[in-house]
């Protein structure tokens, strides 16, 4: 079983957390209690209600043991900062973060960090659908 941290439980974070918690050890982190509540009964993991920019939160979520971390808050800069720290300071093997801006995606490219751009993904899918 892998140990996975998901930061940001908006729409995609929530679904990912629910899916992954069926087979893996999942910790969901969000600063909004309401977002954590939407995980509902389907979620079989730990919830941490706190600020992800605080390293105590990250350590409480178990970042030292984590195999992977997903950063899916709507805040690009937060995702980037916590993602970099997860990689550099804690050596988390797989770091996946969401960035809405293509320029930042390019600048912050780093080995072992996967940066996802939602708009790009949608455009790709749309293009494929008429191919």
Q: What span, in angstroms and rounded, lies between the C-alpha atoms of 70 and 6?
A: 5
Contact residues for other proteins (CB under 8 A)?
51, 53-56, 75-78, 80-82, 84-85, 88-89, 101, 103-104, 107
- CA dist list (Å): 57 to 53, 105, 119: 8, 25, 30
Closest approach, Cβ 106 to other proteins, in A, equals 10
Q: Which is nearer to other proteins, 18 or 73 (CB)?
A: 73
19-42: b (≥16 Cβ within 10 Å) or e: ebbeeebbbbbbbeeebbebbeee
Q: Which is nearer to other proteins, 30 or 76 (CB)?
A: 76
Contacts of 58 (CB under 8 A, 6+ apart): 5, 52, 82, 85, 86, 90
Q: Which is nearer to other proteins, 38 or 100 (CB)?
A: 100
Closest approach, Cβ 55 to other proteins, in A, equals 5
Q: Which is nearer to other proteins, 20 or 63 (CB)?
A: 63
Closest approach, Cβ 15 to other proteins, in A, equals 24
Closest approach, Cβ 74 to other proteins, in A, equals 12
């Amino acid at each position: 079983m892998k140990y996975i941290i998901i930061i940001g439980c908006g729409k995609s974070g929530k679904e990912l957390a629910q899916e992954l918690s069926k087979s893996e050890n999942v910790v969901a982190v969000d600063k909004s209690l309401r977002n954590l509540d939407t995980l509902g009964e389907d979620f079989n993991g730990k919830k941490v209600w706190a600020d992800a920019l605080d390293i105590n939160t990250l350590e409480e979520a178990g970042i030292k043991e984590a195999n992977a971390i997903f950063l899916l808050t709507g805040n690009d800069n937060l995702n980037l900062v916590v993602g970099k720290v997860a990689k550099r300071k804690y050596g988390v093997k797989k770091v996946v973060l969401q960035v809405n801006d293509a320029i930042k995606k390019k600048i912050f490219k780093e080995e072992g960090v996967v940066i996802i751009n939602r708009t790009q993904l949608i455009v790709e899918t749309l293009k494929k659908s008429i191919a």
